[in-house]
Each structure stands twice: as C-alpha cells, then as structure tokens.
Amino acid sequence: MPGRTAVERDALFLDELPQTPRVSSVHAYHLLHAFSSAADAWHIPAPAPATHATDDQHEAPPQPAPDARPPDAADEQLIAELAKDGRATVAELARATGRSPAAITRRLDRLRATAALRLAVDFVPELLGYHLLVRFWLRVAPGQLGTVGTALAAHPEIPFAAATTGPSNLVATGMFHDTDELYRYLDHRIGALPGVQSIEPPILREVKRLTCNNASR
C-alpha cells in the first residue's frame, strides 16, 4: 500500500477491516522481488526464426552496448512526467521538462535500452481472447525460488511473477484463452519446473487494477 504511513496501515488491518461486514478473514503478504519478464509484449507471438542469413545480416556492424550509467536528475524528471501520464508525447515531455524533443528522444532510448524505464500497455484481456485470469500461489523450495521465478516470468502466459512472504513464497498472474489451455500449462509448463512443491491456481474476476507493493488474497 504505497503512500500509507505505518499508523494508517495498522488502522486498516487492525480496526477497519475487522469491523467490515461479511469479512471473515484477512491475509496480507509483502512482495519481496518482482521478476522481470523476458518479453514485454507477452501476448504477441514471436516472429518465426529466419531460415538463412541475408547479405545485410552478414555485413551489419555490431551494435554498441547501451549506456548503463544510472539515471541522473534530468532522467528522474522525465520518469516523473511519464508517471503522471504514460501516454505523453515527446513534444509534451519536452515542454514539461524544458528540453528539446531530440534530447527527450535520446534519453528515452537510453533509459529503455538499459531497462531503467519500461513501458507497459494496459488493456482488457478479453479483447484479445483471454477469458481466464489466474492467480498462481506457489510453494517453491527456497534454493529454487529465483530459478522458478525467472522461468515463470519468461513464459508468455505470465505477465507478472514475484517472490512474496507467506505460506506460498511465489505469486504469479496468468492469462489463458480457456480451461484447456490452463490445464496444458499446469501439466506441461509450470508443473515441470524444478523445486515447485505445490500450486494453488484460483481463477479470478478482475475488478480493478492497482499497482502496489503488497499482495493479498
């Protein structure tokens, strides 16, 4: 719950929720580490591999490594403007930061190339045929937590995976077209990962999305 003080959090869990009608129990967990996805466009099929290299591919010079220096004050100002409106144009960002559009473009390219800035598209899953939203709670052997989390984040079915506190030490969100696809994923993909001791995959109906540092169920 970002933005809340410790007193406000305690009041919510100790005073407000217990007095809410029909609430019989509350479980709160803290996200320890979010695993980066191998593909931001997880819902877009990967292009087919080339069958042979073209002359252009043979002659293309190696690309320089991205500048990995940490974000400076100007970068932080740019990121803050994007946090207000992720759809802001380069021209709007230039006006808000007092810099030229060319300078903004260069900074955006560098921040994205070094993963200091990552852009995501929020959409209604049903529009692309994903009718099942699943929250996976996994119990993973402690020595395999990083391996399993990284593997899950690389699966195109999983847009989010993170280590968490609680009886289940890894939580992930999956999107599927139907129950047959979910079954195949459970049987062939997630169940084959080493170190997975148990899986609880409740199917959810998403009411509202909210980015936060805590996971609850």
- Give the 3-state DSSP-derived string for the chain, with helices as H, strands as E and coil as C: CCCCCHHHHHHHHHHHHHHCCCCCCCCEEEEEEECCCCCCCCCCCCCCCCCCCCHHHHHCCCCCCCCCCCCCHHHHHHHHHHHHCCCCCHHHHHHHHCCCHHHHHHHHHHHHHCCCCCCCCCCCHHHHCCCEEEEEEEEECHHHHHHHHHHHHHCCCCCEEEEECCCCCEEEEEEECCHHHHHHHHHHHHHHCCCEEEEECCEECCCCCCCCCEEEC
The pLDDT, as a whole number, for residue 119 is 72
The stretches in the chain having pLDDT less than 50 are 38-60, 210-217
pLDDT tens, position by position, 73-82: 999 999 999 9
Q: Which sequence spans correspond to the domains of the chain?
A: 27-40+126-216, 70-119
What are 167's two structure tokens?
Answer: 């009886």
CATH architecture entry for 27-40+126-216: 2-Layer Sandwich (3.30)
Q: What is the pTM of this model?
A: 0.61
Dist. CA 97–CA 33, nearest whole Å:
31
The pLDDT, as a whole number, for residue 214 is 39
Angstrom CA distances, 193 to 38, 69, 152, 174, stand at 17, 35, 9, 16
The pLDDT, as a whole number, for residue 68 is 67
The pLDDT, as a whole number, for residue 205 is 64
Dist. CA 158–CA 38, nearest whole Å:
10
Dist. CA 92–CA 139, nearest whole Å:
46
Dist. CA 160–CA 209, nearest whole Å:
13
The pLDDT, as a whole number, for residue 89 is 93
Angstrom CA distances, 33 to 16, 107, 125, 192, stand at 28, 27, 25, 22
The pLDDT, as a whole number, for residue 208 is 58
Dist. CA 165–CA 31, nearest whole Å:
7
DSSP lists the bridge partners of residue 160 as 173
CATH topology for the 70-119 domain: Arc Repressor Mutant, subunit A (1.10.10)
The pLDDT, as a whole number, for residue 6 is 78
